[in-house]
A and B are shown apart, each in its own frame.
Chain A
Amino acid sequence: MKKIESTGIVLDADNIDTDQIIPAKFLKSTSREGFGEHLFSNWRYLENGEANTDFALYNYPSDAAILISGNNFGCGSSREHAAWAISDYGIRAVISSQFADIFKGNALNNDIIPIVLSTDEITAIMRYVEQHPSAKINIDIDKQSVQIEEEGFSFFQTFQIDQLKKKFIMEDIKDLEYMLSIKEEIAQFELAHIL
């Protein structure tokens, strides 16, 4: 994956925890599939199971692949089901001013790009996308940039990403493939490792 071009979804709240992204009652599955329909379940559905049309997911294009959220996204539980739910729903990148560490790792392992921008930059994007839900956001992983070029609004900012993870994502290499390739070295390490 090298680029993401998509509309965005604004979810303007800080500290969105993984219990909100995917509540624990959906963790009884033994598969990685099918979590998308439960993404943000407690906010997205009313008590009678019908869609809560006030919720963000229903107010942006249904194929939007970029989630724009507040500070400290993904805090709480280590459940990778949160990343699976986001990915299964079709989201490929999340923009926040800070990510919880475990979520960030889980996101990258599922080819979801966690993009950190400043609070001011996020506010600017949020306000524009709220008014213009069809606005296209361009993410270039190689250039590490987020860009919006619309009539009367222009945004460009670069973001940080670990260079090894960047290479892995761009070349579709999994952590596991790399570690399996050095298994000899791991076995050698064990011989000298004293607990």
Chain B
Amino acid sequence: MSSTIIDKIWDRHVVKSVTEEVDVLYIDTHYIHEVTSPQAFTGLNDRGVKVFRPKQTIATADHNVPTKDQHKPISNELSKNQMDTLTQNCKDHGIELFGIGHEKNGIVHVIGPENGYTLPGMTIVCGDSHTSTHGAFGAIAFGIGTSQVEHVMSTQCLLLSRPKAMRIEVNGELGIGVTAKDVALYIIAQLGTEGATGHFVEFAGSVFENFSMEERMTVCNMSIEMGARGGLVGIDTTTIDYVKERVEVLSDERIALWKSLNSDADANFDSIIELDGSKISPMITTGTSPDTGIDVTSSVNTSSRNTTKGLQYMGISKDEILMGKKIDYVFIGSCTNSRIEDLRQVARLVKGRQKADHVTVWVVPGSNEVLKQAKAEGLDRIFAEAGFDFREPGCSACLAMNEDKIPSGALCISTSNRNFEGRQGDGARTILASPITAAASAIKGEIIDPRIYLN
């Protein structure tokens, strides 16, 4: 019988089917962080029980951490309390913690893959909606609420309805200056933020086959922005090569098992969407929802997904062309775009150039590993010469839980994943874009097509 990769992985993890719709699903890897885990630990502590499978649980501090002077004590009392609580809980429950300052510290969706904890064929959860990132490995990965975090801590399982499967195929050649982020924003603009609700999505086609693991992670990361429960890419030599560098022993049997999980040629999907990659341009969002993306050169009204309220909040009129619009901040970072390839692309573009005087530019690496690699390659010097502030790892201005907030009314071009009202700080206005579009705009001081700096 022919099946999708989604069904194959799911079925291998069903402990039992409770009803026709609902399964008890076994979870291989559980990532936790300081913001969505404390109440779950309290549940266990109140019941006087320990985490069921602590070796399958990996902890990091990322959402709250300052991205400057991480060696100093944390000044924000509430943030400090959440991090201290995580440290104590991990100690009490025997969970490995990559806390602030640890060489493996960083954003949960960056450190998991880069340290070989995320593997093909796994089920992976975390109390964070961007857990879909790990789907790039051919894994079923999805965000959960804190009650579910407690369920996994207690039983390594979740009670879940069986998913529907969607296939999004993107074929054709991507143009110069068109990155994985643009592909993600383009797909979201086509589907809408609720277009894939109830589904896991398999991303396929030549565009994804040619993508590196980091590029696949960028698109899978934003599956949630199309409403999907998760998104994944099939397991191929790109996947295996990446994993080989991070896992000590990898048998041929294991690789063969992983590859057998790929969707069969005649697998049945609940829906299939085909898109032409050659039609994608560098993208920017216009409103307060991630599905309001447009070609950077076109008019705001080429998106039909804007609301009056959203455009009003953004201070943007529907007939405007945003190229040439003055920006105040540039944020390059987040679990979407803070990996070494992102930073290399940015460095290549800004090398020998300087940011516009009026713009504040933050480059926040996804992990200490990314930070170390960037320094080894001299990217830190290129950023410094360009006037970019290269900081320490964390979620930072993506959700502004730490000190990295965009001021009210300021316009920020950001490589993160959400442009919701107030997401980057009270009253902050966010335009989502790729790292090179953000970097080019930093230099020009206004929204610009990055292709002017390429070739």
Q: Which residues of A contact B193 (CB under 8 A)?
A: 15, 72, 75
Question: How does the 8 Å CB contact mask read for B423-435 relative to A, with 1 for contact and 0 for none?
Answer: 1001000000000
**Inter-subunit contact A193/B26 (CB<8 Å):** yes
**Inter-subunit contact B121/A195 (CB<8 Å):** yes
> Chain A: which residue is nearest B53 at the CB level?
A190
Question: How does the 8 Å CB contact mask read for A77-96 relative to B, with 1 for contact and 0 for none?
Answer: 11111010000000000000
**Inter-subunit contact B150/A32 (CB<8 Å):** no
With A14-B307, A164-B19, A189-B15 in contact, is A182–B423 under 8 Å at CB? no
**Inter-subunit contact B420/A20 (CB<8 Å):** yes
Interface centre among A13, A76, A178, A182 (most CB of B within 10 A): A76
Q: Which residues of B contact A162 (CB under 8 A)?
A: 21-22, 161
With A24-B401, A75-B194, A101-B229 in contact, is A30–B22 under 8 Å at CB? no
**Is B365 in the interface zone, CB < 8 Å from A?**
no
Q: Which residues of A contact B421 (CB under 8 A)?
A: 19-20, 42
Q: Which residues of A contact B38 (CB under 8 A)?
A: 30-31
Question: How does the 8 Å CB contact mask read for A1-42 relative to B, with 1 for contact and 0 for none?
Answer: 000000000000111010110011101111110000000001
**Inter-subunit contact B21/A102 (CB<8 Å):** no
Q: Which residues of A contact B277 (CB under 8 A)?
A: none
Q: Which residues of A contact B418 (CB under 8 A)?
A: 17, 19, 76-77
One of B39, B121, B161, B198 near A32 (C-beta < 8 A): B39
**Is B415 in the interface zone, CB < 8 Å from A?**
no
A182 to B26: give the CA distance in the assembly, Å: 12
> Chain B: which residue is nearest A30 at the CB level?
B38
One of A29, A76, A175 near B159 (C-beta < 8 A): A175
Q: Which residues of A contact B420 (CB under 8 A)?
A: 17, 19-20, 76
Instruction: Give how many A residues have a beta carbon under 8 Å from the other chain's beta carbons.
Output: 52
**Is A110 in the interface zone, CB < 8 Å from B?**
yes
**Inter-subunit contact A28/B64 (CB<8 Å):** yes
Q: Which residues of B contact A164 (CB under 8 A)?
A: 18-19, 21-22, 159
A71 to B291: give the CA distance in the assembly, Å: 14
A28 to B16: give the CA distance in the assembly, Å: 36
Give chain B nearest CB distance to A12 CB in angstroms.
11
Give 18 pairs: A residue, B residue, CB < 8 Å, sorted on A. A27-B35, A27-B63, A28-B81, A29-B78, A30-B81, A76-B129, A76-B224, A76-B420, A79-B145, A80-B127, A80-B146, A102-B145, A106-B147, A109-B145, A179-B151, A179-B159, A185-B24, A190-B26
One of A99, A101, A183 near B155 (C-beta < 8 A): A183
Give chain A nearest CB distance to B119 CB in angstroms.
7
A173 to B257: give the CA distance in the assembly, Å: 38
A32 to B41: give the CA distance in the assembly, Å: 12
**Is B28 in the interface zone, CB < 8 Å from A?**
yes
Give chain B nearest CB distance to A193 CB in angstroms.
6
**Inter-subunit contact A106/B145 (CB<8 Å):** yes
**Is B82 in the interface zone, CB < 8 Å from A?**
yes
Q: Which residues of A contact B426 (CB under 8 A)?
A: 23, 25, 42
With A20-B420, A28-B79 in contact, is A101–B197 under 8 Å at CB? yes
Within A47-85, which residues are at the interface with B (CB < 8 Å)? 71-72, 75-81, 83
> Chain A: which residue is nearest B126 at the CB level?
A78
**Is B128 in the interface zone, CB < 8 Å from A?**
yes
Within B368-406, which residues are at the interface with A (CB < 8 Å)? 399-401
Give chain B nearest CB distance to A86 CB in angstroms.
13
One of B22, B26, B121, B227 near A100 (C-beta < 8 A): B227
Give chain A nearest CB distance to B89 CB in angstroms.
10
A75 to B39: give the CA distance in the assembly, Å: 22
> Chain A: which residue is nearest B405 at the CB level?
A25
